[in-house]
Amino acid sequence: EKQKPVFRRNDTEAENSRKQNSFKYFLKVAGAKVRVCKKMFENTFCIGERSIRDWVLNCPLDLPSQHQNENSDPNQNELGQEQVNIENANTEETGQGKANDELTPDKVDDGKRASVRQFLDSLPKMESHYCRASTSLQYLEPMWESKAQLYREYRDCSEKNNVAVASWSLFYRVFKVMKIGFFLPKKDQCELCIKQKLGKVEDHVYLLHQQRKERSRKEKEDDKKKAIENTGFVAFVVDVQKVFTCPNIKASCAYYKTKLKVHNWSVFNLATSDVLCYVWHEGNGDLDSSVFASMVVRLLKREVSTNPNVKEIVLWSDGCTYQNRCENVSNAILHFCIDTGVTVIQKFLEVGHTQMEVDSVHSTIERKIKNREHYVPGDFLRAIKEARINPKPYSAESLSYKDFTDYAGGYFTSIRPGNKKGDPFVTDLRALLYSPQGHIKYKLNLDDAWTELPRRPRANVYKDLQPLYKEPLVITDRKFKDLQEMKSVLEPDYHNFYNELRHVGCKSGIEKCSHII
């Protein structure tokens, strides 16, 4: 059949046109480019006009793919599929696209993109508390309620400074490229279960994982029943809460300021539902393993002093290594057992399924402090005590730098149950038993018999335990400066607390510090 010739219009008055760009659409047929209409191109690849325009204007089309080598066909991708060819008719021959260089879409987008980066760089961020090993994202401090609120603040800030405002789509693209997270990741999302849904985990591995999950939960329930029936047996569930920031205020000036980090380590008694929280801020201690070891020993001593009949204490927790499953914590517990004659057992929930009773404590506390302003760490302490009424309020203690002991250099240099290649690792431990005789035993499965740790303990250790910190910790100069500037929206009663914080640039005390505003 004879084809009807196609005549294309040539605009002879392009210089008067407001149109800046023209697009030509091509498909490859038998190795040759065939020009097609826009509608056919969009329907072929199931994409819209806006997506095509964004790709062309914002992405370089002349750069080869990183998966291509020198001899590969530039029109094919790594799967051997033919790539799309889109030609931008922004040429002198057509007379179109001759707008001022400073006003081209690329130039405008570059300026807007830079304004977004500058805005996001100015916001204080923190790393994930639970997933530092598995993510490189930096998370905004938890004062932002939604991405829409963040964009509105950017828009208002740009308009105030007479800066071109980026669109929502461009703002969000830059947000993702900068590897910034909005909400802290949930700690109990099981990576192995997610991979199993995608078919990336063998069935027997997943089955063993599920069996361990159910076994650990049943073991915890058995310990709970035993603790209720036997006063000489005590079972605790312990965990650290996500980081709070202080002051927690709604003033717009606080959006761009770094704040003081406040930590809460919570303890839940499985038999009585009593709750105890240890609260400290970064000026008194960080997240060192000796910090957690000190709190564990403090808890154990408190229990022995209030319950002289106790003979065995079980601590349930997740398997976080620096908090619960490390030599400093183990050595501290062992030292307590030798001194008191009490047996202590650590048990660890299956990774990815560490839901436990203490999580409800954290949820209750977070509901209590939501939409409430807190000016100093003492306000968090008060909120924790008020978070629950029945069966009884939570107990909370504020810890200072003097409350932490250095447990480095203890009985065992490692708690790994082996030395050779192929031996189990610390992360394979499911339970640890500390005896008053100075022995550590372990289980790789909760149904196994206790096996003594194949390591020789050192003698004459912990004869003279030293404090972990000799003085309060210093914070960064930027944080101290930001906290000083935020005093303008705080009541004068709170100013002295922030004045007394030590910082890098001035360690001589508040009497001689010139940085106090």
* DSSP character at residue 52: H
Separation of alpha carbons 272 and 303, rounded Å: 13
Same domain, 271 and 304: yes
Q: How many CB atoms lie within 10 A of CB 113?
A: 17
Res. 190: pLDDT tops 70 = yes
What is the average per-residue pLDDT within 25-49? 85
Same domain, 118 and 209: no
**CA angle, corner 499, sides to 488 and 123, nearest 5?**
55
Res. 397: pLDDT tops 50 = yes
Q: Which of 471, 321, 299 is nearest to 397 (CA)?
A: 299
Per-residue pLDDT, 140: 78
State in Å, rounded, how far the first CA of the chain is from the last one. 87
Same domain, 112 and 82: no
What is the average per-residue pLDDT within 11-38? 75
Task: Tell me: cis bond preceding 105? Omega within 30 of 0 counts.
Answer: no
Q: Is residue 404 part of a domain?
A: yes
Separation of alpha carbons 89 and 99, rounded Å: 13
- Residue 338 maps to which CATH number? 3.30.420.10
Same domain, 212 and 347: yes
Separation of alpha carbons 267 and 302, rounded Å: 12
Per-residue pLDDT, 508: 57
Domain extent at residue 509: 474-517
Per-residue pLDDT, 189: 65
What is the average per-residue pLDDT within 261-267? 96
Per-residue pLDDT, 294: 97
Q: Is residue 343 part of a domain?
A: yes
Q: Is residue 199 part of a domain?
A: yes
Separation of alpha carbons 350 and 446, rounded Å: 11
Locate 275 and state its tokens. 């709750």
Q: Is residue 242 part of a domain?
A: yes
Separation of alpha carbons 61 and 83, rounded Å: 11
Per-residue pLDDT, 218: 94
Q: Is residue 467 part of a domain?
A: no
Res. 89: pLDDT tops 70 = no
Of 88, 111, 134, the residue that ends a domain is 88
Same domain, 235 and 286: yes
Res. 69: pLDDT tops 70 = no
Res. 128: pLDDT tops 80 = no
Res. 74: pLDDT tops 90 = no
- Percent of the chain at pLDDT above 90? 47
Residues 6+ apart with CB under 8 A from 429: 319, 325, 348, 415, 417, 442, 443, 444
What is the average per-residue pLDDT within 44-51? 82
Provide the edge-to-edge strand list for the sheet that holds 125-127: 125-127, 138-140, 180-181
Which long-range contacts link 300-304 to residues 24+ away (Cβ below 8 Å)? 300/333, 300/336, 300/340, 300/342, 300/344, 301/336, 301/340, 302/276, 303/234, 304/340, 304/342
Residues 6+ apart with CB under 8 A from 485: 253, 257, 517
| pLDDT tens profile 473-504 | 999 999 999 999 999 889 999 999 998 898 88
* DSSP character at residue 396: E
Same domain, 174 and 197: no
Per-residue pLDDT, 10: 59
What is the average per-residue pLDDT within 256-282? 95
Residues 6+ apart with CB under 8 A from 92: 98
Range from 149-158, 271-280, 337-346, 380-389 carrying the lowest mean pLDDT:
149-158
105-121 and 168-177 are packed helices; what angle lies between their axes, rounded to 10 degrees? 60
Res. 98: pLDDT tops 50 = no
Res. 13: pLDDT tops 60 = no
| pLDDT tens profile 434-478 | 999 999 999 999 999 999 999 999 998 998 999 999 999 999 999
What is the average per-residue pLDDT within 5-9? 60
Same domain, 448 and 484: no
Domain count, the chain: 4
| pLDDT tens profile 406-415 | 999 999 999 9
| pLDDT tens profile 272-322 | 999 999 999 999 999 999 999 999 999 999 999 999 999 999 999 998 888
What is the average per-residue pLDDT within 370-386? 92
Of 181, 202, 225, the residue that ends a domain is 181
Q: Is residue 494 part of a domain?
A: yes
Residue 459 buriedness (CB in 10 A; 0-12 / 13-18 / 19+): exposed
Same domain, 293 and 149: no
Whether the Cβ atoms of residue 481 and residue 516 lie closer than 8 Å to each other: no
Range from 89-98, 194-203, 247-256, 296-305 carrying the lowest mean pLDDT:
89-98
Per-residue pLDDT, 85: 44
Q: Is residue 2 part of a domain?
A: no
pLDDT band at 352 (very low <50, low <70, confident <90, very high): confident
- How many angstroms from the chain centroid is the CA of residue 203? 30
The listed range with the strongest mean pLDDT (23-27, 133-137, 380-384) is 380-384
Q: Is residue 203 part of a domain?
A: yes
What is the average per-residue pLDDT within 230-256? 90
Same domain, 271 and 394: yes
| pLDDT tens profile 206-228 | 999 999 999 999 999 999 999 99
Same domain, 407 and 265: yes
Whole-number mean pLDDT of the chain?
83
pLDDT band at 7 (very low <50, low <70, confident <90, very high): low
Q: How many CB atoms lie within 10 A of CB 418?
A: 15
- 3-state helix, strand, coil split of the chain in percent (to 5) is 35, 15, 45
Locate 510 and state its tokens. 């508040």
Residues 6+ apart with CB under 8 A from 161: none
Per-residue pLDDT, 3: 57
Query: Which one has a higher pLDDT value, 303 or 510?
Result: 303
Res. 47: pLDDT tops 90 = no
Same domain, 215 and 160: no
Same domain, 489 and 350: no
Of 125, 152, 181, the residue that ends a domain is 181
Range from 25-29, 79-83, 136-140 carrying the lowest mean pLDDT:
79-83
pLDDT band at 516 (very low <50, low <70, confident <90, very high): confident
Query: Which one has a higher pLDDT value, 137 or 367?
Result: 367
Query: Which one has a higher pLDDT value, 252 or 384?
Result: 384
Residue 241 buriedness (CB in 10 A; 0-12 / 13-18 / 19+): buried
Query: Which one has a higher pLDDT value, 315 or 418?
Result: 315
Query: Which one has a higher pLDDT value, 196 or 335?
Result: 335
**What are the Cα distances from residue 468, in Å, to 128, 262, 290, 294, 388?**
25, 19, 7, 9, 33
Per-residue pLDDT, 300: 97
